[in-house]
Amino acid sequence: MRLSAFLLVTTLAAADLKPPRNEPSHFATHATVGGLTIAAEYLVRGLPGDKEVFFVRDFLVVEVALFPKAGAVYALPGSAFALRLNNGKTPLLPAPAQMVAASLKYEDWTVRPSLQTGISSDGGTIVIGGPQRTGRFPDDPTVVRDPRRTPPRVETRSSLVSNEEASETAHEAAVAYALPETRFHAPVRGYLYFPYTGKTKSLKKVALLFQGDGAAATLVLK
């Protein structure tokens, strides 16, 4: 199941790891605003894909389903939602799925503390213990290769086509299963990603805020 499946708004499209969810009651919480019913579930840092659940390190994941009344057409942007943590005054806004995908694909997307030792020799510096920069394209000149590290094995086109179906990656799933920002007149379903690098154990209360078409709702997720 890929991104095209999400855009077929005549059906509920999402990961197959969970039982079908075609009613608001199938979710942890739901609320009705005007003619739109919003259902949601807090997945913490889990991103269910086709065959496995991926760990999303820098974001909180919320699964959302939208159920419009018969004959109504909606077009809700992701900015209609926000996430409030522990009654905080400033809620988190969702991040674009492409940003989440980049953080999953590139190891150095976010700088994190690590043990590093600098050794200067002839004007140069060797860094030991830090994360290795990931090239954005083949032979990226900005990438300094550590000869002691084994380079990743590169799949050739012939080896890929030999498989019946290529394995789904985390960054592909992040985009494919994101809540689509498109006009819909039937139920749609997908994930919202909220940037958060703190400890999830410190989150005692989590609430999804919705505001659109002059109406507002709060869905308590935790």
Tell me what the mean pLDDT of segment 40-65 comes to.
93
Residue 17 within a domain: yes
Domain interval for residue 13: 3-103+172-220
| Position 25 pLDDT exceeds 80 | yes
Residue 18 lies in a domain: yes
Domain count of the fold of the chain: 1
Answer yes or no: is 120 within a domain.
no
Mean pLDDT of 73-77: 82
Considering only 1-5, 106-110, 202-206, which range has the smallest mean pLDDT?
1-5
Report yes or no on 74 lying in a domain.
yes
Q: State residue 181's pLDDT score.
A: 87
Give residue 115's pLDDT: 40
Give the residue-averaged pLDDT of 58-74: 92
Question: Residue 129's CB: how many other CB atoms inside 10 A?
Answer: 8
Highest mean pLDDT among 15-29, 31-45, 101-115: 31-45
CATH number at residue 51: 2.60.40
Flag whether 67 is in a domain.
Answer: yes
Residue 129 pLDDT greater than 90, yes or no: no
| Residue 85 reports pLDDT greater than 70 | yes
pLDDT at 107 over 80: no
In a domain, residue 58? The reply is yes
pTM beyond 0.75: the answer is no
Residue type, 154: V
**75 inside domain:** yes
Would you place residue 166 in the very low, low, confident or very high pLDDT band (cuts 50, 70, 90)?
low
